[in-house]
Amino acid sequence: MAAVQIHQGASADGELPLWRFLRQCGFSEVGIGRMRGAVRPGKSRYKVVTGRRYSQQKVAQDLAPNIAALLGEGLDTPAIERLFTAQPNLLTATHSKFASSLAALRQLADLLPDDPRSAQAPSGATQLGLAILRRPGSVARLLQRGAPARLIGGNLRLRRQLGVSGSATAHAIFTNSAVLASDLQQAEALVAHLQRLQASGELSAAHVTQLALEPCGLSLSPAEFDRRRREGGDHALACIGLKDPNGRQQAIATALGELLQAAAGVPGPLQQQYRQQATAQAQRYAAFMRATPASLRANWAALHRAGLADGDIAAIVQQQPSVLTHNWGSDSKKQLATWLRQELGLSLAQFLKRHVGYANKGVGRLAMRAAYLQQHRPAVWQQYYARGAGPLLSLLSDNRNFYPKSGCTQADLAAFEREWLRTPAGRRWGGKPSRT
């Protein structure tokens, strides 16, 4: 995106200077339409305030230099568009606040662990630019936070006290902005509480590390933490960010029971046997605590659209209940379905009915390892391919089998992955799926 001259004067249809400027920058009509749908003149709790704040002077003084700063991180127009589309109220950020936030996030990004997928990024992308490319929504939310330098420094310090590295903290924060605790005084008190629990043996070092990296993990008071830990049962540590873990579990059990009862063709109110069956699954699998009743119904419907009958879905859920916690209508799952069909000759329905245990595996990992075997160990590939999809998926998924059977080391595979990610196949399967 080249430097853009800001045209003066209002358009004939009275359009705000903001939208004209974004068109000059090369933003797509689809992206601009999404942002316009999120804003309106006047005050609103949920929508961005527009009107005079989008004057020509505002665009020139703030938005133009903000976009220039993002260009300096090595981002292209589509990446910048995704950032603003994720949080349209960034369009009104002052340049001083935006620049300060970028500087703080730049220091945090320097702590990120090495990511082989950086091979797919533009050659001039900085570490922060790479983070924005990978997680535009999360970074957009971080850019909105007040006093980012103070918060980031405090969060890093507190997690070091719990034995968590700066690299792990940075990765967690960029993955989910809710990891960044805003009330440092309260976080200090919780860290001291966790240290006492660890010293007494009530929490292990692994549990403390898990909590430190959970969304909202350090955002609770000690008393609230104890309440959620007590009420959350076996999955308390995995759902510590939930205000009402019991209520969430009951809602999930009701929704799942209704789906199972409907699949069995039983009409009427939810019967006790299906409620008990669903409750047992909700209590057993922590993944359900991160779902909602609406998401369970939507994921069931997506599997139905993929060609599975209700009875098949119910049987799959009995084997692998966490299947319903995945969005099978999402771009990433559609990408997995495409790879399975092209490489293994499996439809998504066949895959889930026969090999549901591999439903949680990422397509990038499977495709990269398959490519390594095809190119460097063709005899191993042919041997397992001939045995069928099950043994092949097991080999590609399990480190304990893959390294000895393929005869490669972790270093060999990491070097191959960097090169593979630059190929058309690597860009297709190893990167984020393209969105239409």
DSSP string over 111-122: TSPP-GGGGGS-
CB under 8 Å to 322, separation ≥6 — which residues? 285, 287, 288, 359, 360
- Which segments of 264-325 does DSSP mark as H helices, in order? 272-284, 293-305, 310-319
Q: Does residue 375 register a pLDDT over 90?
A: yes
Give the rounded percent of residues in the chain with a pLDDT score beyond 70.
88
For residues 235, 239, 243, 247, the Cα torsion angle rounded to the nearest 10 degrees is -50
Residue type, 32: I
Q: Does residue 348 register a pLDDT over 90?
A: no
For residues 44 and 275, what is the distance between their CA atoms, to the nearest angstrom?
Answer: 41
Query: Within 13 A of 67's CA, how many CA atoms are on the CB side?
Result: 29
**Confidence category of residue 109, pLDDT binned at 50, 70, 90:** very high
What's residue 432's pLDDT?
60
For residues 9 and 425, what is the distance between their CA atoms, to the nearest angstrom?
Answer: 48
**Confidence category of residue 402, pLDDT binned at 50, 70, 90:** very high
**Confidence category of residue 129, pLDDT binned at 50, 70, 90:** very high
Q: Which tokens belong to 253?
A: 């059990």
Residues 383, 387, 391, 396, CA torsion sign:
positive
What's residue 286's pLDDT?
74
pLDDT digits (tens, 9 = 90+) for 143-192: 988 888 999 999 999 999 999 999 999 999 999 999 999 999 999 999 99
What's residue 177's pLDDT?
92
Mean pLDDT value of segment 129-137 = 90
pLDDT digits (tens, 9 = 90+) for 183-226: 999 999 999 999 999 999 999 999 899 889 988 889 989 998 88
**Confidence category of residue 121, pLDDT binned at 50, 70, 90:** low
Mean pLDDT value of segment 286-297 = 84
- Angle at the Cα of 351 from the Cα atoms of 349 and 356, rounded to 5 degrees: 110
Q: Does residue 11 register a pLDDT over 50?
A: no
Residues 298, 301, 306, 308, CA torsion sign:
positive
What's residue 320's pLDDT?
82
- In DSSP notation, 365-402 reads HHHHHHHHHHHH-HHHHHHHHHH-HHHHHHHHH-HHHH
Q: Does residue 335 register a pLDDT over 60?
A: yes
Give the start-to-end residue ranges of the domains of the chain.
17-103, 154-242, 244-329, 361-436
What's residue 8's pLDDT?
43
> Could you tell me which of 248, 246, 161, 249 has the C-alpha nearest to residue 211?
161
CB 173 within 8 A of CB 179: yes
CB under 8 Å to 201, separation ≥6 — which residues? none
**Confidence category of residue 322, pLDDT binned at 50, 70, 90:** confident
What's residue 120's pLDDT?
66
> Could you tell me which of 248, 182, 250 has the C-alpha nearest to residue 215?
182
Q: Which residue has the tokens 């299947």?
A: 323
